[in-house]
Amino acid sequence: MGASFVGVACLALAGVAYGAVQVAFTASVSPNKTNSPAGLKVKIVSSDPAAEQPAIMDRITIKLNAGGQYNGSKFPKCSLNTLNSKGPTGCPSGSKIGSGNGVGYAKPVVTDPVKAKLTIFNGGNKIFVYVFPDLGPTFVTVGNVIHKKDGPYDYTLDFSVPPIKTLPSAPDASVGTVDTNTPKKFVKKGKKKLSLIITPKKSRARGRPRATSTSRRVRRSSHRSARSARSSHDRPENLHVPQEEEGHCVRKYFWGSRHWPRSPS
């Protein structure tokens, strides 16, 4: 079962041109069989040809088809406090459920893309992604696993991406690529052997997997004083680095690569 989606992106409504913000999401399970233990691969690629780097993603929500099962509550668990204080080595054996790689952008502080190693841990009703970048501090992205019927979906994975700080006068870094793999995982409970992920019982479950994301645009500031910037609700500027602006979600796309319009509709 594989899919390709485009999520929600947010456009800044200030005096800047509208760009072609793209957030593409692909997912696949292996083996591709119904009602079977499976591994899950996920890839997210964010880009904006009209900007120096992708928009700053702050949330990703994924809805999965009804009929499948996630048994995180049956597996060893790590906690956010443990990851923040001790890192991956402090987590119980068996709580690691996946790994991957990421690429981020932090212009103008760093001109080249910044690679990161991703390690995924089970938290029961949460999923923790421990991010170890080549440059900058480590951080954890937390995903809530919500098991609640929502139309043709059974599970919602709701990830909050924390601000990735660079310098005090510079904007946060943005996420460009996330590529993860959660292989088949098993745990014994008595005489039973449980799988972490089980695919839906029906081969054609109603509805399609769905993904959305929210982000905010980074723009190049104009040459004006810090005083005038404050009066217009922007943060004080040093060396005229790009500033962040909050955007507003205006449209959703699913299944295929689409582009944001260059002017509001």
The string of pLDDT tens digits covering residues 163-179 is 999 988 888 999 999 99
Q: Tell me, what's the pLDDT at 135?
A: 93
Answer whether residue 263 is part of any domain: no
Answer whether residue 257 is part of any domain: no
Q: Tell me, what's the pLDDT at 103?
A: 97
**What is the tally of structural domains in the chain?**
1
Answer whether residue 104 is part of any domain: yes
Q: At 3, is the secondary structure helix, strand, or coil?
A: strand
Q: Tell me, what's the pLDDT at 77?
A: 98
Q: Tell me, what's the pLDDT at 33?
A: 87
Ranges of the chain whose pLDDT falls below 70: 1-21, 203-265
Answer whether residue 240 is part of any domain: yes
Q: Is 164 buried (19+), middle (13-18) or exposed (0-12) by CB count in 10 A?
A: buried
Q: Are 104 and 173 in contact (CB under 8 A)?
A: yes
User: What is the domain range of residue 48?
Assistant: 2-251
Residue 214: CB partners within 8 Å, gap ≥ 6? 8, 9, 10, 57, 58, 59, 249
The neighbour count for residue 165, using CB atoms within 10 Å, is: 14
Answer whether residue 192 is part of any domain: yes
In order of 38, 74, 133, 219, 265, the CA distances from 190 in angstroms are 21, 12, 40, 57, 59
Q: pTM higher than 0.85 for the full model? A: no
CA distance 83 to 81: 6
Answer whether residue 29 is part of any domain: yes
Q: Tell me, what's the pLDDT at 197?
A: 94
Q: Tell me, what's the pLDDT at 251?
A: 29
Q: Tell me, what's the pLDDT at 217?
A: 55
Query: What do you get for the CA distance between the two ends of the chain, in Å?
Result: 34
Q: Tell me, what's the pLDDT at 125?
A: 96
Q: Are 43 and 181 in contact (CB under 8 A)?
A: no
Answer whether residue 187 is part of any domain: yes
In order of 19, 52, 200, 219, the CA distances from 240 in angstroms are 21, 15, 52, 11
Q: Tell me, what's the pLDDT at 169?
A: 85
CA distance 121 to 72: 10
Amino acid, single-letter form, for residue 262: R
In order of 55, 95, 124, 129, 209, the CA distances from 146 in angstroms are 27, 19, 11, 17, 15
Answer whether residue 262 is part of any domain: no
